[in-house]
């Protein structure tokens, strides 16, 4: 699903690369935690997968495509296969829950009949049935993140990128979100999630990739957040 | 393509950005209006040229008793000289369309008619006016051929081209048109800048939407279309207002004010308005397109 082959990313005006000769592979259907301190390269990793950045050196393969050779007009097609969730939800405040989810389909030109069918389905998956007409500011943080996950998942992506999805949520709510991401993973979507949330990583016991200073310092299946320090 | 969705995005974009959109509409209308006006002046000049050049003639004034130019040193024109001039003029056909001989008596009669309300008539005697040949040219621009053939010849006092007088007038109109065009062009530049700025503000106020659109894989076209349409709608309304203004100028200023007051000349017809209006709309759309092209490249990249 994702293959990094000796990938180096050096931002302009910076001496130290954000990622330094990183090679790793994530298989289809995996659930991967990306951990590490701030500035360790997690966000760069995710941005490279989304082709928001290009690597300075090396190759990034996503869903069978080498992103360096992907022409600009094919980027949207790549991103339609990838769902994205952020710490800050990124919902449209002037649209209702259902409209926020429908927006993702409208802007890629899906027919209205299809949208009317799949939006209620995905809202049921994330547990928001009955709240379709609410505005984001009428929802709790956990509910807002569920809307964002629904939006990311409504087009049934093969890969879900979650950038600290529980970073703004209390522990109880976070557990609910993790259950949801786990369910989406069970439905066949590969999930890559960056996080600082030790309790969650320790509890889930999934593959953990730890980055530090742009290097992979640990890649462990059924791992925990960190060694006892 | 979801037409409803795009339409609602465009209308909400315009509502959100209403003051800027209004500014764009007004600037487009004013700059295109000026542009149209300068085109109209140009059409007016060419209409008047057609009208007047048809009527102008070259006058060959013959020597009279009081003439003091060197070519009149031999005294008033003789009958032989007069016949020779006429024969030479006739030989210049087809350039010379027609030749009309005006005697002193006829010149006096015309003079009396022209100045019948003026006391000057009483002070002029028939012999004070020169006899002349009035020559109509098939091509009024070839005046020089006639002038070089006849000017300075014995018996001829002066060769006059009425076109020269008109040309001064047309030069004045041409200058006015140029000024209007220059103002219009600078206004058009202002318009482009304003549209660029408006789209930048629009792009900024919709940055949440566009960032989500990019993430979920909306095509560039889909992301940029609402902005393009907003600019196009604003520029289109402005252009329509400008055309309406042009039509008003034609109906009110030209047909109801100028034409009745200046009946001696022709004014531009609806054909000119019909030719200019599409040009104005084309320029307006072009402006919006140029502005959009630069803005989108800069602010809405994937």
pLDDT in tens, chain B (302 residues): 567 777 887 888 778 788 888 988 999 999 999 899 888 888 888 888 777 777 777 888 888 777 777 777 777 778 888 888 888 888 877 777 888 888 888 888 888 777 777 777 777 777 778 888 888 878 777 777 777 778 777 888 888 877 777 778 888 888 888 888 898 889 889 888 888 888 888 888 888 888 899 899 988 888 888 888 888 888 889 999 999 999 998 898 888 888 888 777 778 888 888 989 999 988 888 888 888 877 877 766 65
Q: Check if A135 contacts B (Cβ < 8 Å).
A: no
| A-chain residues near B212 (CB < 8 A) | 90, 92, 103-104, 107, 151
At A134, is the secondary structure helix, strand, or coil? Answer: coil
For A:63-122, CB contacts with B below 8 A are 72-73, 75-82, 84, 90, 92, 103-104, 106-112
- Which residue from B5, B215, B223 is facing A106, i.e. has the nearest CB? B5
Q: For residues A24 and A49, what is the distance between their CA atoms, to the nearest angstrom? A: 12
State the nearest Cα–Cα gap between A227 and chain B, in angstroms: 35
| Contact between A104 and B216 using a beta-carbon 8 Å cutoff | yes
3-class SS shares of chain B: helix, strand, coil, % to 5: 75, 10, 20
**SS in 3 state form for B158-221?**
EEEEHHHHHHHHHHHHHHHHHHHHHHHHHHHHHHHHHHHHHHHHHHHHCHHHHHHHHHCCCCHH
Q: Is the dihedral of CA A175, A180, A183, A184 positive or negative?
A: negative
Whether residue B5 and residue A92 make contact (CB cut-off 8 A), yes or no, is no
Please report the ipTM that was assigned to this predicted complex.
0.87
Whole-model pTM: value is: 0.71
Query: What is the spatial distance between Cα A196 and Cα A40, in angstroms, rounded to a whole number?
Result: 12
Q: Are strands A190-194 and A207-212 parallel, antiparallel or unpaired?
A: unpaired
User: Any chain A CB within 8 A of the CB of B167?
Assistant: no
Token pair 């941005």 is at which residue? A47
Q: What is the pLDDT of residue A228?
A: 44
Decide if B2 and A112 are in contact by the 8 Å CB cutoff. Answer: yes
Does the beta-carbon distance from B218 to A72 stay under 8 Å?
no
Residues of A in contact with B218 (CB under 8 A): 76, 107-108
Q: Count of CB atoms within 10 A of residue B93's CB?
A: 11
What is the SS3 assignment for B154?
Answer: coil
Query: Which residues of chain A make contact with B219, given a CB cutoff of 8 A?
Result: 73, 76, 108-109
At B150 the three-state DSSP class reads: helix
Cα distance from N-terminal residue to C-terminal residue, chain B: 19
Shortest distance, CA A79 to any CA of chain B (angstroms)? 5
B220–A contact, CB cutoff 8 A? yes
Distance in angstroms (rounded) separating the CA atoms of residues A81 and A76: 9
B216/A75 CB distance under 8 A: no
- Mutate which of A62, A106, A154, A158 to disrupt the B interface (most B C-beta within 10 Å)? A106
CB contact under 8 Å between A104 and B214, yes or no, is no
Our CA-based measurement puts residue B208 at a distance from the nearest CA of chain A, in whole angstroms, of 7
What's the rounded Cα separation, in Å, for the pair B78 and B133? 14
For residues B195 and A121, give the distance between their C-alpha atoms in angstroms, rounded to a whole number: 42
Q: Three-state SS for A33?
A: strand
């Amino acid at each position: 699903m994702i293959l990094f082959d000796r990938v180096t990313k050096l931002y302009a005006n910076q001496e130290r690369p954000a990622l330094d000769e990183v090679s790793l592979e994530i298989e289809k259907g995996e659930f991967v935690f990306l951990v590490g301190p701030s500035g360790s390269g997690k966000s760069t990793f995710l941005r490279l997968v989304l082709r928001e950045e290009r690597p300075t050196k090396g190759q990034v393969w996503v869903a069978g495509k080498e992103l360096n050779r992907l022409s600009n007009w094919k980027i949207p097609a790549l991103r339609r296969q990838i769902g994205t969730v952020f710490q800050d939800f990124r919902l449209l405040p002037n649209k209702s829950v259902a409209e926020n989810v429908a927006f993702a389909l409208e802007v890629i030109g899906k027919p209205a009949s299809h949208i009317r069918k799949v939006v209620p389905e995905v809202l049921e998956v994330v547990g928001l049935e009955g709240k379709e007409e609410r505005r984001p500011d009428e929802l709790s943080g956990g509910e807002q993140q569920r809307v964002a996950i629904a939006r990311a998942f409504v087009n049934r992506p093969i890969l879900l990128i979650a950038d600290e999805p529980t970073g703004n949520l209390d522990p109880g709510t976070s557990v609910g979100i993790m259950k949801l991401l786990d369910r989406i993973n069970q439905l066949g979507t590969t999930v890559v999630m960056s996080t600082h949330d030790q309790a969650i990583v320790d509890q889930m016991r999934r593959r953990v990739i730890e980055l530090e200073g742009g290097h992979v310092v640990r890649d462990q299946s059924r791992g925990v957040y960190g060694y006892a320090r | 393509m979801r037409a409803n969705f795009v339409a609602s995005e465009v209308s909400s974009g315009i509502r959100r950005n209403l003051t800027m959109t209004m500014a764009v509409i007004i600037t487009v209308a004013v700059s295109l209006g000026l542009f149209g006006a300068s085109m109209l002046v140009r059409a007016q000049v060419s209409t008047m040229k057609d009208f007047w050049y048809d009527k102008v003639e070259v006058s060959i004034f013959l020597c009279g008793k009081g003439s003091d130019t060197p070519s009149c040193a031999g005294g008033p024109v003789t009958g032989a000289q007069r016949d020779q001039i006429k024969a030479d003029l006739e030989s210049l056909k087809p350039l010379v369309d027609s030749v009309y001989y005006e005697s002193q008596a006829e010149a006096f009669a015309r003079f009396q008619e022209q100045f019948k309300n003026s006391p000057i008539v009483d002070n002029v005697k028939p012999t004070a006016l020169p006899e002349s040949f009035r020559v109509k040219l098939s091509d009024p621009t070839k005046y020089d051929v006639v002038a070089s053939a006849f000017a300075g010849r014995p018996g001829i006092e002066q060769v006059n081209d009425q076109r020269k007088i008109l040309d001064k007038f047309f030069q004045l109109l041409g200058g006015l048109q140029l000024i209007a065009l220059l103002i219009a062009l600078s206004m058009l530049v202002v318009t482009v800048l304003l549209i660029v700025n408006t789209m930048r503000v629009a792009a900024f106020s919709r940055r949440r939407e566009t960032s989500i659109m990019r993430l979920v894989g909306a095509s560039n076209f889909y992301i940029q279309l609402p902005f393009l349409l907003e600019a196009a709608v604003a520029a289109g309304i402005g252009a329509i207002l400008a055309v309406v203004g042009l039509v008003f100028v034609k109906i009110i200023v030209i047909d109801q004010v100028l034409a009745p007051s200046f009946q001696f000349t022709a004014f531009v017809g609806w054909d000119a308005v019909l030719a200019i209006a599409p040009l104005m709309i084309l320029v307006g759309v072009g402006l919006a397109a140029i502005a959009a092209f630069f803005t989108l490249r800069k602010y809405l990249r994937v």
